[in-house]
Amino acid sequence: MTGLPAIAEVVARLRAARHVLFITGAGISADSGLPTYRGFGGLYNDELTEDGMPIEEALSGHVMATRPEVTWKHLARIEATCRDARPNAAHRVMAQLQERIPTTVLTQNIDGLHRKAGSRDLIEIHGDLFELVCPHCGHRESVRDYAALRTLPPPCPHCLDHLRPGVVLFGEALPIPAIRRLEAVMHTGYDLVFSVGTTSVFPYIAHPFVSARHLGALAVEINPGDTAVSEQADLRWRCGAAEALEALWRAFDAPA
């Protein structure tokens, strides 16, 4: 009825589940108006930036340390694209599901939409664009939009250093708290894992999905195209995230 293969099986597993893991990428934010191609606003392409460097270099930890104004300029362009975006149905379904079943969301996105939707057990493996941190003294503060910042990079209010967004730049290590939380989820296990809107090219994103069979979990991929983990999926729903998760919620929420 919904057009999603074996949705009744997924619903049955969901109703009996003790823990569910969602792994999300840029595709989940497509229905919020954010592009699904690599980068935001056309920043990531084969051309050099106006600073004479590839965008990967401009958005690297090295350039942030040596030429922070360059990295901040490009991060501000990304932020301007994300600023007015709102959670869509896919984000909301994950937040709703946590009220019925323990639910963890592992996201690569830095747009903050899962948090806005209300997800609580949230692993933002690449950080949050709207959380600023001082690398020198550790000061942290949240910002609603970069337009309110008088200068870029903004000065730290407690020391002589500059703030930076709490995101993982190219060449930087993943945040230890996020890694530890993911390790804990892997150790505890889960009954279902959904890969939603991600190509899963990073090993730490692919591993929890590929490990589903070892854990006895059902692995469902939601993505219109082929990805690095498609062959490992028990079920593949070739559609957008909002469409699939709305249909899943309707079936799950219906009287048994």
The Cα diameter of the chain in Å comes to 61
What is the DSSP track for 67-118?
-HHHHHHHHHHHHHHHTT----HHHHHHHHHTTTS-EEEEE---S-HHHHHT
Of these residues, 74, 91, 114, 126, which one is catalytic? 126
In Å, what is the CA distance from 120 to each residue of 73, 86, 97, 178? 31, 17, 11, 13
Q: Is 126 a catalytic residue?
A: yes
Per the CB < 8 A criterion, the answer to whether 219 and 234 are in contact is: yes
What is the DSSP track for 119-137?
-SSEEETTEEEEEEE-TTT
Q: Which residues are catalytic?
A: 126
